[in-house]
Amino acid sequence: MSTSPSIPSFKLLDGTSIPWLAWGNGSGQAKKAAVEAGQQALAAGIRHIDTAQIYGTEEATGHVVSGSPLPKDDIYVTSKLSNLANGQPVPLDQVRASVAESVRKLGFVPDLFLVHNPFVAPPGELKALWKILEELKDEGKLKSIGVSNFRVQDFEAILDDAKYKPVVNQESCILPHLLVIDSGDSTLKIEYHPYTLTHLQPVLELQAKHGIVTEAYGPLTPVLRHVTGGPLKTVLERIAERLSKATGKSVDLATVLLLWTRAQGAVAVTSSGNAERIKLLAEVSQLPDLLEASEVEDITRVGKTVHFRYYTEHMEIDFPLPNLPNGL
Ligand SMILES: NC(=O)c1ccc[n+]([C@@H]2O[C@H](COP(=O)([O-])OP(=O)(O)OC[C@H]3O[C@@H](n4cnc5c(N)ncnc54)[C@H](OP(=O)(O)O)[C@@H]3O)[C@@H](O)[C@H]2O)c1
């Protein structure tokens, strides 16, 4: 995979690179019109598509990629092993066939393949499931492998004796944590400063220790799904106003949040089915670092005063919540 030089990327544990902004077709209008919106995304300059078995968009993703004039190597694609349609785990003896079906629908081996959540494995079988993905990687049937919605206990279940550590954990990282990248060598060394989502602190610390990159899905939740916007709203407005003056272009709150996500060393997995906003996301993916260090810190500091989560179905099971207000 050779990513476009104009789109910053992060280095993963296995030596590959991942474009920092992904366009997902698992939500909203992007899911309903995955082919049309996917074509618009690639035409606009997006180079990372996030799909999953459960979204029902793997075939559409394959269609978009094969129909594009771009070489496949210029388009990074993530897919995921999801629960069965009835929500049940995938029996271990069906995992290989399930992965093969993803590859068949896509028409290629995805650059990154994730375990969608820890409940994809039958109870007590997470380690055995991870081992199958490791074997598939060794056989060349998968490339990079990672996880999603993993809590500390899920990492503990698979990391012991793992041949390959997951390269990412895709999680609902909607409120700030600060990661400091030490660019002194080729590995990401990450320092974590806890924020209001004290909830995520242990898992982010574990990821930092192992060099596992955070992929943040739902990154726009503070501006889209929090009814009032909470205390971050005025901070984001102030920064957006400064950037609008400095660049001579109208910079919105979503752009500020996405740039903040990148400033932490996290991949932003966002989405849009709206042609104009897709173009905007493509432009954002190519922006240089525009945020001042103090602005990144302000977002982090104010974010720490609230706990608010939209996607509660995985990370809030058997993982104690912090005693913090929701900012409403
Ligand atoms: N691993 C998991 O368990 C998991 C869970 C959830 C999601 N995901 C992945 O993450 C992707 C994104 O999730 P998400 O939808 O929650 O992400 P999000 O970035 O928080 O929200 C995306 C929504 O923001 C809107 N939007 C985009 N740009 C905007 C802008 N500049 N201003 C205002 N609104 C804007 C879009 O609406 P319009 O279409 O109207 O533009 C879109 O519906 C999914 O598609 C999926 O691939 C993964």
pLDDT of residue 94: 98
Reported as half-sphere exposure (CB side, CA atoms, 13 A), residue 71 has a value of 6
55 in active site? yes
User: Distance between CA 167 and CA 148 in Å, rounded?
Assistant: 10
Confidence of residue 54 (pLDDT cuts 50, 70, 90): very high
Token reading at 67 = 């129909």
Fold category of 9-303 in CATH:
TIM Barrel (3.20.20)
310 or 178: which leads in pLDDT: 310
**Residue 273 pLDDT:** 98
Q: Ligand 1 site: residues with CB under 6 angstroms?
A: 24-30, 50, 116, 148-149, 170, 217-221, 224, 252, 254, 269-274, 277, 280-281, 311
CA–centroid distance, 204 to ligand 1, in Å, is 22
pLDDT given for residue 198 in this prediction: 56
Among the listed residues 55, 76, 192, 217, the single catalytic one is: 55
pLDDT at 182 over 50: no
pLDDT at 172: 66
pLDDT > 50? residue 135: yes
- Indicate the pairing of strand 76-81 with strand 168-172: unpaired
Measured in Å, residue 93 CA sits from the centre of ligand 1 at 33
Q: What is the pLDDT of residues 201-249, one digit of tens each?
A: 888 889 999 999 999 998 998 889 888 999 999 999 999 999 999 999 9
Counting every residue, how long is the chain?
A: 328
Question: Nearest residue CA, atom 19 of ligand 1?
Answer: 270
- Is residue 270 within 8 Å of residue 24, measured between CB atoms? yes
pLDDT for position 16: 97
Q: Using the mean position of ligand 1's atoms as its centre, give its distance from the Cα of residue 32 in Å.
A: 13
Write out pLDDT tens, residues 9-21. 999 999 999 999 9
Higher pLDDT, 184 or 255: 255
The pLDDT of 279-288, averaged and rounded, is: 97
Q: Whose CA is nearest to atom 22 of ligand 1?
A: 271
Q: Is the separation of the CB atoms in 261 and 12 below 8 Å?
A: no
- Region of poorest pLDDT, from 38-47, 94-103, 303-312: 303-312
For residue 196, pLDDT over 60 is answered with no
> Among 196, 133, 222, which Cα is nearest to 323's?
196
pLDDT, residue 5, reads: 47
Average pLDDT over every residue of 41-45 = 97
272 alpha carbon to ligand 1 midpoint, in Å? 6
Determine what percent of the chain falls in helix, strand and coil, rounding each to the nearest 5: 40, 15, 45
First and final CA of the chain: distance in angstroms? 43
pLDDT at residue 175, rounded to an integer: 36
Mutation choice for ligand 1 from 168, 220, 287, 309, CB with most ligand atoms inside 8 A: 220
Average predicted confidence (pLDDT) for the chain:
88
pLDDT at residue 28 greater than cutoff 50: yes
Q: Rounded distance, CA 38 to CA 61, Å? A: 7
